[in-house]
Amino acid sequence: MKKKKIAEGIAFLVISALLLFGVPRYVMERVIVDGGSMETTLQNQDNLLVEKVSRYFGALDRFDIIVFYPNEEFKEEDKYYIKRIIGLPGETVQIKGQTILINGEPLEESFGSSEMETAGIAAEPVLLGEEEYFVLGDNRAVSIDSRSSSVGTVPLSRIGGKIVIRIFPFRKLGTVDK
């Protein structure tokens, strides 16, 4: 009887440790918006939940809002970007004025809350690799995104996950526009 209670206690501790450390690391975690690059969809200091599993199954789609890290060593998880996927692997992205072209065709979207002042690297066609994405902030006048050579295209290896729900402020609790 005593051995059974000890075994149950150990099992409880192991399961608790997996939930406490495994879920935030591998399944879902909270991030906080820092800045105005995703306005009006997301506001500075919005608290969001990021689902981290779907990226492993090729479930990232155009217009998903993702979290990605500025470099390959994304273990430094206190520095991240939150942007919207515009271009998918294998596509060619180009920006002419305010028009985003995907494979030469205008992209129909209404997420941009401000005019783009520059096309950046996308002034010329950008061919995305097998696991590369082109991302833009919704507030295009201030967003540092794939147009910038300091960010560039985003390889799947730097994507932490996609935003699934806003948890704070409570008055905006719910899913985020896609």
Q: What's the pLDDT tens digit per position in 62-114? A: 999 999 988 765 555 568 899 999 999 999 999 999 999 999 999 998 887 78
Residue 71 is assigned to a structural domain of this protein: yes
* CATH number of the structural domain spanning residue 137: 2.10.109.10
Residue 167 is assigned to a structural domain of this protein: yes
pTM for this entry:
0.82
Greatest Cα pair distance in the chain = 75
Q: How far apart are CA 50 and CA 160, in angstroms?
A: 8
Which two structure tokens, joined as six digits, stand for 110? 């209404």
Radius of gyration of the chain (CA): 19
Q: Are 147 and 94 in contact (CB under 8 A)?
A: no
Peptide bond into 40 cis (omega under 30): yes
Number of structural domains in the chain: 1
Residue 8 is assigned to a structural domain of this protein: no
Looking at the chain, the whole-number percentage of residues with pLDDT higher than 70 is 83
Residues taking part in catalysis: 37, 83
Residue 18 is assigned to a structural domain of this protein: no
